[in-house]
């Protein structure tokens, strides 16, 4: 089944600051577990999970379970135009708050799950 991401659906997704921050972290880091997103965004797990469910329902992200952890990454089958929008947004905002702080928090996260490969 073909993915249907429209400009309207993508921009609605990106209009929410929590989803935007999560997407930009995944764009730069590859794959992140819920605990990493919770820590980096300083947000409770139910809120992160709710936003990730929206992203998953719109085919923006994919998930995979590894034991007790659930990892999320941008869908590699996103249309080129959608990936370009996300990459251009990241290039412009990652030096500004709150995006800069999200990356710093993730870098400084204690007990962060080990390096993972995307499969």
Beta bridge partners of 63: 72
**CATH number, domain with residue 12:** 1.10.10.10
pLDDT tens string 15-30:
999 999 999 999 999 9
Torsion angles phi and psi, residue 48, rounded to 5: -60, -45
- Asked if residue 44 belongs to a domain, the reply is yes
- What's the rounded mean pLDDT across residues 47-58? 96
Q: How far, in Å, CA of 111 to CA of 103, rounded?
A: 16
Site of tokens 């370009």: 84
- Contact status, residue 53 vs residue 89, Cβ threshold 8 Å: no
- Asked if residue 114 belongs to a domain, the reply is no
Predicted structure pTM score: 0.90
By the 10 Å C-beta count (0-12 exposed, 13-18 middle, 19+ buried), 23 is classed as buried
Name every residue whose Cβ is closer than 8 Å to that of residue 12 and which is 6 or more positions away in sequence: none
- Asked if residue 113 belongs to a domain, the reply is no
- What's the rounded mean pLDDT across residues 79-96? 95
Give the model's pLDDT for residue 117. Answer: 45
- Asked if residue 2 belongs to a domain, the reply is no
- Asked if residue 25 belongs to a domain, the reply is yes
- Asked if residue 85 belongs to a domain, the reply is yes
DSSP state of 115: P
Q: How far, in Å, CA of 33 to CA of 15, rounded?
A: 22
Domain count, the chain: 1
**67: domain range?**
8-107
């Amino acid at each position: 089944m073909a993915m249907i991401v429209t400009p309207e659906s993508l921009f609605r997704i990106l209009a929410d600051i929590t989803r935007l921050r999560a997407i930009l972290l995944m764009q730069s880091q590859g794959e992140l577990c819920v605990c990493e997103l919770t820590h980096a965004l300083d947000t409770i797990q139910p809120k992160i999970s709710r936003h990730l469910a929206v992203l998953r329902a719109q085919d923006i992200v994919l998930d995979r379970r590894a034991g007790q952890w659930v990892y999320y990454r941008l869908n590699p089958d996103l249309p080129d135009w959608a990936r370009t929008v996300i990459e251009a947004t990241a290039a412009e905002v990652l030096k500004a708050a709150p995006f800069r702080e999200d990356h710093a928090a993730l870098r400084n996260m204690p007990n962060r799950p080990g390096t993972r490969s995307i499969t």
